[in-house]
Amino acid sequence: MKKALIALAISLALVMSVEAQVKNGPIVDKVVFSVVMDRQIGIQNTIAGKTDVFWENLGGKDYKAISAADLDKLSTYFAPGTQWEITFNPYPNVAPYQVKTKDGKMFFNPFAIREVRYAMNWLIDRQKIVDEIMLGMGTPMITGMTPGQPGTYKYNLVPAKLGMTNRGNEKKAIDDITAAMTAASNLPENKGRLVKSGQFWTFDGQPVSIKFMMRVDDPSGRLLEGRYISDQIEKAGIKVERLEWDRSKCINTEGSTDPADYQWNIYTGGWGGGGMREYWDVLISQMYSPYYTNMPGWGEPTWWNYKNDEIDAIAQKNINGWFMTADEYWKDNLKAMEMALKDAVRMYVASAQTAQVSNKARFNSRMAYGLGVGLDTWATRTADVKPETSGPDKGLKVLHATQFSARGALFMSALDPIGVDGFNGTYESVIFDNCSDQVTFANPNSAKYIPLRASYDLKNLTTQIKAGDLKEQIASKLIPPTSLSAKPVGLIPVPKEAIIYDSMKKAWVSGVEYKAVTYDAATPTYVPNTGIVAYTKLSGVKYNGGKWHDGNPIGVMDIMYAAAFQYEWANKDGPNDKMYDESFASQYQSSLPITKGILLNKDGTFTAFYDFNWTDKSYIAASGAAVVDVKAANPGRATTIEWTVIEALAKMVTEGSKSGEVYSFSSDGATTEVDVTVPKCVADIRAKLVDMAAAKYVPVSIKQWCTPEQAVARYNAAIAFIDKYHNAYIGNGPFICTKIDTTSNSVELTANRDYIYKSDWATKLLTTTITRIDNVKIPATAQRTKDCTVNVVASAVSYPNDIASTATNKTNVTVTLVKADGSEMTYAAKYVSPGNFSATIPAKDLGALKPGSYTVVVQSYLATEAPSVYPASLVLF
């Protein structure tokens, strides 16, 4: 009996201990982000336990220099890391390719010639960069789609069809550049002025020289890349001015100056890995389409901007789900990919396989992380470190995270939660993505969309469409004349009770009255929307409540404000409309017409009517759930901030500020971009909140859902937050931004114990088993008269613990042969023994093909998770 009582007591104690640990919010109590100016210091501090995790993508040189003894003290997170690309300044992008600067000087820009840019794909040996600069820790890239990721291989077949290879062809490149420059020299405007004189081309007697910005803060990576590419360019007769600058100077010169000012020609750009994705059409928009404002000119209305209306049209059509079939979707996307490669304003070079390290002894378990990007917001949300043993935080779990910056600064862009270039840096995302939640998220280990702050049932999803008329839609300017196919037509009636915000009337109106945007090559125009149908209906969508970080509850007013703000600032309602931002509009004008109407149901749920189609119902539903998001602006980032701050910022731009500072939502250099962390701007935000509270001001877009008293309470809560934490990042995520120290360049995040999920929620949700292809044995050559055998070695890997075992017969392995016309033949591999699989491509199928090189794609998976992908080549004789 006594033993039983003791056992019961122990059991109860364990239960109480577990319950005490499972709180609302994240596992850790705090996260402290700091910065070092030397990678080696960051690595050594992590090994010594002075910091818990070095949140820096380590390349081959840095990672391979760590000793075996030190590696044993570290947990390593491998993933596709920084993607290296070079962006060209193509100004003026038309003959005669001359540039006249503000001081009257004349230049000739060789990269204004499309053929010169295109030839760079052959001038650069991408494999050499991977082997000699990345030391093998990387993969050559020709498109922006990460090699080896699910769904990318079709895009990566496009450059192969254009004759591009990882090795390039230096002779062809130099011949093509010489031919293009010679043709330009024969133009009347350049005759006698552009001549080849010795090694280099000259213009008006001076060498044709280009300004190449190289990241000196990446001395073993992009700096060496830039030097190698410079040598190659000079072989083609174009002199290179090598600007070896730090990231701040490079980024500010590229992104904050008009291309027509001609302060740069090339930049060794780099982007985060982009995460695990199911669908990569978004890259066509983000990295190749001018409308998305990531191309030279960056959408700033007073600057020269690169234009390509056809790529824009295709990209907007597909990212918005305006297609009937998968064949149509792929046809359009691959055409856009080919056009982007030929225009070559942005050219990808390589994907670095990077390593991020943490101190093994400090953690109770490994963090979750993005298989396609490495450590991300899910790492901080699942981090479990040992409690502090001394100091003011004794007994608390504090995650110490260090980032690298050659300038010793954490932020390179304005922390602007509205404009398209706010929070436009990797370091900003690493920190502030932890402070915000969106409605849905892509699972970091599978890319499947999962509800986060909303709930809905796929049973309540209906999609009904029919084919549209191409000629009719072109004539009515619903789509551009370059369109390959018509937009579908919805068949689901939109009831008159469904509402949408009309920025002209400053009111929520019946959806059938909304002004729909139509395509016009010169200027977006608006016509009455006579359609009362939608592609899709999703009913029963519910926002899962919770609170903002200032304690205000999240409800209907937050949802309706966010939606109305986008319509207000993307629509120009007359020549003097102050509530309009052209860059903001550039991104939102194609997506806003997707929503045809919103029903607010009596049970507190929403019904969304919208024009979005896809081959995956869960993706369609996730798009519909976005209707109830409380994120108002800053497209493409996770930033979600309470409407009180958004409204204060908007009024600072339209009405002016207490300090007299002239603010905007852009980094055009003529005004100051708003920033929710800069003391002067934060003071102006506070002053505007005080004014709004005194006036009992209620934004017109939410007057049906917010009383003056409720608005005042909101403003006062926001003011109290600012007074306490000295910043205005009032988010809704699992962490609260509680301290920003500009002296030490550190940021402190504190656990939000009013968060809607328990601390073990994310870990339980994300823990799983995935597969990994370890080796593929495929004949270097094959005869069309014989079967071809492909042998595959695969493992099962526990995520995020990263413990591998041999794959069992429950693993599915497929081998896909991609034919010259893009069609595919897929063969299931048979289980041979633990970890070993074999597939046969029959002679009858090979015999139907012409001799040549073909792409083979091997994939492994257990169920519905993202497969492991291994591309290979097969040469047929």
pLDDT in tens, 386-445: 999 999 999 999 999 999 886 656 677 789 999 988 998 777 888 999 999 999 988 888
Gap between the Cα atoms of 856 and 782, Å rounded:
13
pLDDT of residue 520: 57
Q: Tens digits of per-residue pLDDT, 261-284? A: 999 999 999 887 666 677 889 999
How long, in residues, is the chain?
877
pLDDT of residue 820: 82
507-525 per-residue burial string, b: 16 or more CB within 10 A, e: under 16 = ebebbbbbbebbbeeeebe
pLDDT for residue 683 is more than 50: yes
Each domain of the chain, given as residue ranges in start order, spans: 2-80+352-442, 84-351, 454-543+591-629, 767-876
pLDDT of residue 531: 59
pLDDT of residue 257: 93
pLDDT of residue 479: 82
Q: How many Cβ atoms sit within 10 Å of the Cβ of residue 15?
A: 10
pLDDT band at residue 448 using 50, 70 and 90 as cut-offs: confident
pLDDT for residue 176 is more than 50: yes
Q: How many Cβ atoms sit within 10 Å of the Cβ of residue 181?
A: 25
Amino acid in position 742: T
Mean pLDDT calculated for residue range 605-612: 95
What is the enclosing helix (H) or strand (E) of 197? strand 194-197
Q: Exposure of 868 by Cβ count < 10 A (0-12 exposed, 13-18 middle, 19+ buried)?
A: buried
Q: Tens digits of per-residue pLDDT, 624-667? A: 998 899 999 998 889 999 999 999 999 999 999 999 999 999 87
Please choose, from the candidates 548, 543, 445, 559, the residue with its C-alpha nearest in 3D space to the C-alpha of residue 501.
559
Residue with tokens 């990569």: 280
pLDDT of residue 2: 43
> Which residue would you say has higher pLDDT here, 346 or 477?
346
pLDDT of residue 59: 85
pLDDT for residue 522 is more than 80: no
Q: Tens digits of per-residue pLDDT, 538-560? A: 999 999 989 999 999 999 999 99
pLDDT of residue 525: 53
pLDDT band at residue 578 using 50, 70 and 90 as cut-offs: very high
Gap between the Cα atoms of 183 and 687, Å rounded:
60
Which residues lie closer than 8 Å to 575 by C-beta, 6 or more apart?
Answer: none
Within 726-871, residue ranges assigned H as helices are 761-766, 843-846
CATH topology of domain 767-876: Immunoglobulin-like (2.60.40)
pLDDT of residue 518: 61
Residue with tokens 């910056």: 405
Q: Is the four-CA dihedral 752, 754, 758, 761 of positive or negative sign?
A: negative
Gap between the Cα atoms of 70 and 66, Å rounded:
6
Q: Is the four-CA dihedral 683, 689, 693, 695 of positive or negative sign?
A: positive
CA 302 to chain centre: 26
pLDDT for residue 590 is more than 90: no
pLDDT of residue 530: 57
pLDDT of residue 12: 39
Percentage of residues in the chain having pLDDT higher than 90: 73
> Which residue would you say has higher pLDDT here, 531 or 759?
759
Amino acid in position 555: G
Question: What SS3 string covers 394-436?
Answer: ECCCEEEEEEECCCCCCCCCCCCCCCCCCCCCHHHHHHHHHHC
Amino acid in position 390: S
> Which residue would you say has higher pLDDT here, 675 or 450?
675
Q: Tens digits of per-residue pLDDT, 785-827? A: 999 999 999 999 999 999 999 999 999 999 999 888 888 999 9
Q: Tens digits of per-residue pLDDT, 117-165? A: 999 999 999 999 999 999 999 999 999 998 777 778 889 889 988 999 9
Q: Tens digits of per-residue pLDDT, 64-101? A: 999 999 999 999 999 887 899 999 999 999 999 999 99
Please choose, from the candidates 841, 802, 21, 785, the residue with its C-alpha nearest in 3D space to the C-alpha of residue 397.
21
The values of phi and psi at residue 208, to 5°, are -70, 110
The values of phi and psi at residue 656, to 5°, are 105, 170
Distances, alpha carbon 342 to alpha carbons 117, 210, 271, 318, in Å: 8, 21, 21, 20
> Please, are residues 569 and 579 in contact by the beta-carbon 8 Å criterion?
yes
615-631 per-residue burial string, b: 16 or more CB within 10 A, e: under 16 = eeebbbbbbbbbbbbbb
Tell me the pLDDT of the chain averaged across its residues. Answer: 91
Strands 239-245 and 209-215 turn out to be parallel
Q: What is the architecture of the domain spanning 84-351?
A: Roll (3.10)
pLDDT of residue 677: 95
pLDDT of residue 275: 65
According to DSSP, the residues that pair with 813 across neighbouring strands are: 860
pLDDT band at residue 294 using 50, 70 and 90 as cut-offs: very high
